[in-house]
Amino acid sequence: MKSIGLSELKDKSLGKIGTPKRDQYEYELRVELLSEQIKALRKEQNLTQEQLGQLVGVQRAQISKLENNTSNVTIGTIMKVFNALKATVNFKVEKQEAITA
C-alpha cells in the first residue's frame, strides 16, 4: 500500500497552490487557527469574553464571533485583542511573481 503525504492529498482534492479552491481552503484554515489561539489565550488568562471585550473596547458578542470564526474582523481589532492578551502576532507577507502577458 502506497502512502500519500498531506500536501499531495491537498493537491489532489483541493488543487495546487494558487488555485481558487486551494487558496480559499488555506485562508479559512489560517483564520480558524487564529480564532482558536485567541480563545486559548483568553482562557489561559482566566478572562471571560466580556472581560476581554472590555479590554479591547468591543462588545462580548464581537469576541464570541471572533473566537467562533463567524465574523469578518479588521486587522486592527485582531491586534487589539492580542495586545490585550499580552501576545504578539507576526504576519508574513510574500510577494508573488508578476504574471506577464
What would the pLDDT profile of 32-53 be if each residue is shown by its tens digit? 888 899 999 999 999 999 999 9
Looking at the domain that runs over 12-84, which CATH code has it been given? 1.10.260.40
pLDDT band of residue 100 (cuts 50, 70, 90) is: low
DSSP one-letter string for the chain = -----HHHHHHHHH-STTSHHHHHHHHHHHHHHHHHHHHHHHHHTT--HHHHHHHHTS-HHHHHHHHTT-S---HHHHHHHHHHTT--------PPPPP--
> Is 0.95 surpassed by the pTM of this model?
no
Residue 46: per-residue pLDDT: 95
pLDDT tens profile 75-91:
788 889 999 999 987 77
pLDDT tens profile 59-74:
999 999 889 876 677 7
Ordered by start, the domain boundaries in the chain are 12-84
